[in-house]
Structure 1
Amino acid sequence: MPLFQTSVLKKYLSQQDTAKITTAYTEYAAYFHHSAIQENIRNSKEEQFQEGFLRELFVTILGYTLNPAPHFNLTTEYKNVKDSKKADGAILIPMGDDPLKNKVIGVIELKGTNTTDLGKIEAQAFGYKNNQPECVYVITSNFEKLRFYIDNAIEYLEFNLFQLSKAEFELLYLCLAYDNIKNNVAKSIKDQSVSEEDTITKKLYKDYSLFKRELFQNLVQLNPQYDPLELFQKSQKLLDRFLFIFFAEDRNLLPTNLIFRINKEWQQLQQMRIQVSLYDRYKIYFNDLNTGAKVQLPAFSQTNAIDKEEHHIFAYNGGLFKPDDLLNNLNIGDAILFEHTQKLSNYDFASEVDVNILGHIFENSLNELDEVKAQLEGAEIDKTKAKRKKDGVFYTPKYITKYIVENTVGKLCEEKRPLAPEGGILSKLPKKQKEQLLKDIQEYRNWLLQLTICDPACGSGAFLNQALDFLIAEHQYIDELQAKLFGDAMVLSDIATSILEHNLFGVDLNEESVEIAKLSLWLRTAQPNRKLNDLNSNIKCGNSLIDDPAIAGNKAFNWQQAFPKVFQEKNKKAYHITTALHDSRTSQRMIDYKVREKRDMGTNPYPNVQYLTSQEEHIIVKEIHDIVKADNLKIVEFNVCRDHIHILLVCEENELSKIVQKIKAKTARTVNIHRGITIINKPSTATTGEQAPSSIDEDTTIVATTREQAPSTRDEVATREAAPTSRDEDTTIVGTREQAPLSEVNETIANEKKRGEKQNSLWTQKFGSSEINTAEYLHNTIAYIKRNREKHELPPHDKQTQYYLENMLCTLEEAFETEYKGGFDVVIGNPPYGAKLESEVQNYLNKKYIKGGSETVISFTKLSYDTLLKNNGQFGFIIPKSFSFSSNYDSIRAYILNDINEIIDCKKVWKEVLLEQIIFFFQKGKKTENFKSGILKGQQIYELGQISKSTFDEFGFYLNGISEKELKIALKVNSSKKYLST
């Protein structure tokens, strides 16, 4: 909901002293609307105008007394209770009768006008509020804009001080005048607004539910030829159409009071003895909303006069009003439609009813759907197993969706968002600097338009709506920055259509929830005379977790086929790869430039090759095995032969260099550690991969990877053994230069803080590659690699090496099975959990995803990590707290441990749910040593500190809701292994 409910706010605004407001506004406008003063403010640095701003607005206009005047109630540089940080300003009110005792009721944080996005200083300002125990209000400003918060950062009012109208000033004065702050007027308005919205929501739902129930009963009675369950679903669609009209007629999208006018028109026809059903009249207008029309409607009045007005009904379309043969052929009683549409149209859907109410309507509709099914089947209704509980469906409150969106979508935006330079007016920047900033702005806009955000269990669309709000705000930030750059008035771009088309994606099992999600997005973005987006390509109905029709029936859902704009099929090819030990091959260039003759001042002219031992071959095979398993590589055949390796690799062409470079880099590192050439500088961590019994250095740990450091004078072209295309012959080909930078190969390696003290090249700088483009060539290559050791008269691999070799290979069929690239930039949501599943479904989820996958939240997490997210994609879910400690979740906790970066202990978000919840975040492939620990109190989240992931091994679960100080105590207790007896 908005910060204030309209009817409550109107009551308080009407009670203000009109003459006093007029005088104050005149004085306000004389200063803050003065163009020369505005120019000087924009040219001022933060510290230059801070006190002036407080004096001109708060003292002169709003009635404050600034320190050091006697009995001051406004002061600057106010110190926190718990630390030495200081707020730019603080509003004080007296405590009791003692004039010397004050408490802070509001904090003020100020920045210069070049801080375009006030959201950037929100956390800083609330940090000051949290250090003042009785603080209620937070005010942030850049001298041009001002934001006003009450209690938390979920909602706020924003004022443009340089363009403030008198009506807007009345609201500013109501909120910020000292007498009103002292008397907590704004807090009272907010509290009453919450109460009023709750009252209206309950009353509206009661009326809506009654309409739905009586409509369904009427449909069943008048349309016995149709299946009742199908009639129930059609009744929901009809109600969705009415809901759109209710909102649209009150928001100037349709003629005002359209429902009343249609009903009045029907009454007039009845009076003229023209027999037509009211539903037939509504069907005409439904078609108008699909195609557009100019219509004559009765003028809205309380008389029965037959006066007419011409109106234009725009073709909003979007899919909701497309022809539906079954719905059009239904019979509906006139009295049912007339009574309930009249009653519901009386609500003010522009000011009294927020779009978020649709989510609550959806929640309760699911329960009703279960009740209807039970009635139709003649079964008793078990209230404890209503669909909302059975499917784990609960509407997520805004303070949760806002936090998750800001810490997923917001984090990606922070990395890309262009920042205005500090100081000065943007329009007066030097030409080159202005051009660069404009380029940055345009690149950021283009990046934003390609961002993809998915809720795989979207319900009624709470997260998608929050993401929509966030992205609209980001585009507004760009518009404002661009306007300041050129010194123009800000013109907001009409971006909502593009966001719905390109940025937001959702799937849900329930058809009703999908339709309500679409409806809520339409209502948030609808503009007069602009077509609605067809959301069928982005918001879909299906079983997100199951793609097998044998299990999920017609709800089976294939993500790649459903969203071809997000996932693209890989164009895989087979390559024969060889690389050889450094200095073991001689290229023509080495001969031409006398590379060996010139090295070491001519004292080292012969090849220096240290051939691989059996132990080192084992190490290489195991390392490549681990890479294959970790990266899901497709290697059909492999062999290592003392001074070279052969790989038959199936991948995309643009993946080739990156894969081979990683293999070369990590195996070089491993072998050099084994040889004592590379010295590791920190303790080892556990490796991945399947373990075979072995006594040959198989536990060697790779901490940092040796970058192959061959000098530029050793620009060798590798000579490789090529598999014959039609006969057994050796062929020399030109090697492929490795183009992929190390940072793209292995972020863990690239980010390694401490490398070995000594580096050494193991492999040649280049590698050989040959695309295999015929079936004969392919089968010859497999045979050639398989018998390569025999060709070189080398003994077979030992048992342990052979185990790893065989375990990392795949069949041709597996190698060429359809795979996809791409994925979403962000996955967010509140997935269902605790759902009661059939044993067949449980077995399917356990097999497809991970141990424990029959608990759907585990499968949703694994699906998101493996399939939905791009590399470096951001993830945020609210899930049961047991995820962090219960043994049921052991496998998934270990699977994502490296990438988790934040866990918030939420306690109980829903009173109806027995379990407590946590919010957790990870960034795919972005490994961190620590994660942020936080806790939810009320509707605000507080950071407690950074927790080392080593505690996972120490305690066996994710610690959450714990501070660094508490962690030290826990570690001390745990290390002593002494516990209190019970």
Structure 2
Amino acid sequence: MGTLFNARMLADVLRGRGDIPPVHTALTARWAESVRDSTIRGQNETQVEGDFKGRILEAVLGYASFGSDRPQTVKAKVAIGTGIVDLALGRFDGPAPVVLAPFELKGARTVDLDAPMPGRRITPVQQAWQYAVAAPGVRWVLVSNMCEIRLYAFGEGLQSYERFDLARLDTPEDYHKLVLLLSAENLLGGATEALLDRSRAVEKEITERLYGDYTGLRTILIEAVDVATGRADKVAAIGTAQKVLDRVLFVAFAEDTGLLPPRSLAQAHGHRNPYDPRPIWRNFQALFRAIDSGSAALNIPRYNGGLFRPDPAVDALDLPDAICDGFMTLGAYDFGTEVSVTVLGHIFEQSVTDVERLLSRPAASSRRRRKRPAPPAAVSATASSIRRTISPASSWRARSAPISTRCSAPPWRAMPRRATRPTTRR
């Protein structure tokens, strides 16, 4: 799952915000501690919903209920479509109330917001989206289990959301992020949407810059593979080069996001044995094997997602050191804060399109092309292997160590589910 806002941009906006205001210090500390020690799980769900509305939404985020001295911006138990959403954020004082953000609440015992609810076929997230689809004018979708809050943008779908860890609500960084994005003033007044527009622009620029480096390296790599294989089959060279490149990109992502040891690419590139000199490419091949099978010596878990599975064409390659030097271009990007999973997904998807185009060129004879799957099938198989490797890995990182482990989904529940666009119940 991708984050809704670019992490580096958000950090820049939040820099220098200072401590939590004294008026909110005790309140945020109590809520965060109840999540960390799991006492919140023992509370009555209905009572906690009221506390959440009063303490978090109204006291901290500035929403106003009916009867306050300000225009009403939060309303409980609002009928939308055929259901009733727990909370609605919007403008409710005028003749035509407007719901800008349905907010579905679950108790802290609901540890996995992506798991189907008991006796139902939908998840809490999908339930919230049903309300969003049924209410005209919705801009945001929110879901919470009192331990975390998720913010979705209506136009971005279910795959990207911003997560707020309420176990860390008493830290200035997390407090200010919550207020910046979810306060009544910003969420309803347009500042949050302006930040999302800014984030989209940043992501677009990063995507274009990274993809420029990625495609440049691919062109050089295809030629190197073609030469290394005696120019026997250009179509096969394209597929082999693409797999090598996608492996390198995965390592660059994984080493910056805690999925692989830091500087894995740099260490593979820089390792030398003066007593037994060998090409740098051999180090990268060993790294790829370790990712597929796992390596206790290198502190690398076993991913075995398909992308790193043994491949005779890749295993037989001999690539010059100059090509391996180019791998470090991708390693120079910061995939922890600069390049999001969303950007990475765009890179992979565009790569599939580009490879289809390369494979469809008339350079390869029709006789050769009949000997292998049609280009779209071959490319789809490669893309699927990438997703099998990177999606579970990134999802596990995002969801296995968030808040208190007693209040979040256990690691064995952390594999992603296929997200489908929710539909309103008729």
TM over 0.5: yes
Name which of 305, 312, 319 aligns with 1:332.
319
Name which of 83, 88, 91 aligns with 2:89.
91
**Aligned residue runs from structure 1 range 616-631, under 5 A:** none
Partner of 1:918: none
Partner of 2:189: 183
Partner of 1:6: 7
Partner of 2:208: 202
Name which of 78, 97, 101 aligns with 1:106.
101
Which SS does the other structure have where 1:91 is aligned?
Answer: strand
Contact 1:138 1:150 in 2 (8 A): yes
1:64 to 2:51 alignment: no
By how many angstroms is 1:29 displaced? 1.1
1:161 to 2:162 alignment: no
By how many angstroms is 1:313 displaced? 5.5
Name which of 352, 355, 362 aligns with 1:365.
355
Contact 2:41 2:407 in 1 (8 A): no
Q: Which amino acid aligns with 1:369?
A: L
Change (3 A) 1:344 1:42: same
Partner of 1:245: 251
Contact 1:74 1:89 in 2 (8 A): no
Contact 1:21 1:170 in 2 (8 A): no
Deviations 1:497-541 (A, max 9, x none): 9x7xxxxxxxxxxxxxxxxxxxxxxxx9xxxxxxxxxxxxxxxxx
Q: Which amino acid aligns with 2:28?
A: Y
- Structure 1 vs Structure 2: percent identity of aligned residues? 20
Contact 2:101 2:138 in 1 (8 A): yes
1:347 to 2:333 alignment: yes
By how many angstroms is 1:50 displaced? 4.2
By how many angstroms is 1:139 displaced? 2.9
Partner of 1:863: none
Change (3 A) 1:160 1:363: same
By how many angstroms is 1:262 displaced? 4.3
Deviations 1:630-683 (A, max 9, x none): xxxxxxxxxxxxxxxxxxxxxxxxxxxxxxxxxxxxxxxxxxxxxxxxxxxxxx
By how many angstroms is 1:358 displaced? 2.6
CA distance in 2, matches of 1:493, 1:131: 32
Partner of 1:308: none
By how many angstroms is 1:160 displaced? 5.1
Change (3 A) 1:11 1:275: same
Partner of 2:370: none
Change (3 A) 1:21 1:263: farther
RMSD of aligned alpha carbons: 4.9
CA distance in 2, matches of 1:89, 1:110: 8
Contact 2:65 2:73 in 1 (8 A): yes
Partner of 1:136: 139
Change (3 A) 1:188 1:233: same
CA distance in 2, matches of 1:199, 1:284: 34
Contact 1:363 1:393 in 2 (8 A): no
CA distance in 2, matches of 1:53, 1:90: 13
By how many angstroms is 1:190 displaced? 3.2
Which SS does the other structure have where 1:60 is aligned?
Answer: helix
Partner of 2:153: 150
Contact 1:362 1:460 in 2 (8 A): no
CA distance in 1, matches of 2:261, 2:384: 27
Change (3 A) 1:85 1:495: closer
Partner of 2:363: 375
Q: Which amino acid aligns with 2:18?
A: T
Contact 2:261 2:300 in 1 (8 A): no
TM-score, normalised by the number of residues in structure 1: 0.34
Partner of 1:917: none
Q: Which amino acid aligns with 2:5?
A: F
Richer in strand (by share): 1
CA distance in 2, matches of 1:54, 1:250: 37
Change (3 A) 1:101 1:14: farther
Q: Which amino acid aligns with 2:88?
A: A
Which SS does the other structure have where 1:495 is aligned?
Answer: helix
Change (3 A) 1:288 1:14: same
Contact 1:136 1:150 in 2 (8 A): yes
1:216 to 2:234 alignment: no
**Aligned residue runs from structure 1 range 511-550, under 5 A:** none
CA distance in 1, matches of 2:379, 2:231: 35
State which drifts further: 223-232 or 242-251.
Answer: 223-232
Change (3 A) 1:230 1:41: closer
Deviations 1:355-389 (A, max 9, x none): 53434323322221222xx224499xxxxxxx76x
Change (3 A) 1:254 1:144: closer
Q: Which amino acid aligns with 1:147?
A: R
1:24 to 2:24 alignment: yes
Change (3 A) 1:468 1:61: same
CA distance in 1, matches of 2:83, 2:295: 62
By how many angstroms is 1:68 displaced? 0.3
By how many angstroms is 1:246 displaced? 1.9
CA distance in 1, matches of 2:354, 2:135: 40
Q: Which amino acid aligns with 2:350?
A: H
Deviations 1:191-228 (A, max 9, x none): 33334333333333332222222222233345537444
Change (3 A) 1:21 1:461: farther
CA distance in 1, matches of 2:10, 2:324: 33
Contact 1:76 1:87 in 2 (8 A): no
| Structure 1: runs of 5+ lacking an equivalent | 295-310, 380-386, 396-456, 500-523, 525-825, 830-875, 877-939, 946-982
Q: Which amino acid aligns with 2:199?
A: S
Deviations 1:729-765 (A, max 9, x none): xxxxxxxxxxxxxxxxxxxxxxxxxxxxxxxxxxxxx
By how many angstroms is 1:316 displaced? 4.2
CA distance in 1, matches of 2:125, 2:303: 39
- Higher RCO (CA-CA < 8 Å; seq separation 6+): 2
Change (3 A) 1:182 1:463: same
Which SS does the other structure have where 1:89 is aligned?
Answer: strand
Change (3 A) 1:164 1:228: same
**Aligned residue runs from structure 1 range 527-676, under 5 A:** none
By how many angstroms is 1:163 displaced? 6.0
Contact 1:215 1:235 in 2 (8 A): yes
Paired residues, number: 398
Change (3 A) 1:220 1:353: same
CA distance in 2, matches of 1:465, 1:50: 38
Change (3 A) 1:54 1:199: same
